[in-house]
A and B are shown apart, each in its own frame.
Chain A
Amino acid sequence: MNHCHPHLFTTLLLTSLSVPIPTLAATLTGALTANSSSTDYYHITCAGNNNGVTDKLKISIMDLAPNTAPMMSAQLIQGMLAVNTTDPNDKDKKYSPEIALQRGDARYEVRINKTAVGIDSYSLNYQCVTKLGKPTLVTVNRIQNQ
């Protein structure tokens, strides 16, 4: 009765230590400052689970309010592979074209930037999946926040 459930204890411990907790698919929001060179930078790590090993990481980005001139882009990089996606319309509520890299269980890099001066915010959707499209574990570390 006095004992904490082991999974709950682990979750509480990791949270208290600010250790990222693996999840399935997820969305994060962020913002870039006015400087045109501003870039946010994340490490996203995919790990297999009961669904199997990871086949690929999929991401897309949505340019959120304010509706301003800069377009927002995200680059997905792993090893010597890189792909880009841009949200072409700031005023709708649609994500950019989805991009993916098939590099299995691995740490991927994601950079988010914009084409001009001005504060802007975004939503990043990310999911690690098996070859059958089932979700695997994903962990995000924010490396740089500009």
Chain B
Amino acid sequence: MNDSILSLKKALIMPMLISVFSNNATAHDLNGSLGQASSAVDFYHIHCFDDSSYLEIELRDEAPSAAPLMSMQISVGERVYNTTDAKDADAAYSPSLQVTGNADEYYLITIDKTAAGKENYAVSYHCMTAQNFHTGTEIFPIADQ
């Protein structure tokens, strides 16, 4: 009886502990904001683990519904790509980008807007294997404007 209770506790508690302390997740959503200045840029590094093949990423311009359009650039090596959310504060994300990189790759992400005014955004990002499975992901905020 005691053994079965102990096993049940282990079964419930261990996954919770792992989820709390692990930095290795397989997909992420990030929320952020840009300040008033039209020049404001938020800047991140995303690290995809050693079995990764590409980064899938998209941006959503969130409320307040304001004039600036929000864009995101993804660069790896000497390649850079852009995606823009054409409509503010709806549920839809910008066109999704799939950016190929090496295994154990770092991707540089910049997020900006077209005019002055505070804005909020959400980024959905997934490191993927060549077989299209999610794999380990880390994110490092570099600049928050």
Residues of A with Cβ closer than 8 Å to B? 36-39, 41, 71, 73, 75, 77, 80-86, 88, 97, 99, 111, 113-116, 143-144
Contact = CB atoms under 8 A, between A and B. Distances in A.
A111 B73 contact: yes
B41 A84 contact: yes
Contacts of B9: none
Contact of A75 (B73, B83, B84, B86): B73
B143 A115 contact: no
A9 B40 CA distance: 45
B134 interface: no
B39 A99 contact: yes
B41 A75 contact: yes
10 contacts: A36-B82, A41-B78, A71-B114, A75-B73, A83-B40, A85-B38, A99-B39, A113-B71, A115-B84, A115-B86
B38 A84 contact: yes
A111 B38 contact: no
Given A83-B39, A88-B114, A73 B71 contact: yes
Given A80-B143, A82-B143, A39 B81 contact: yes
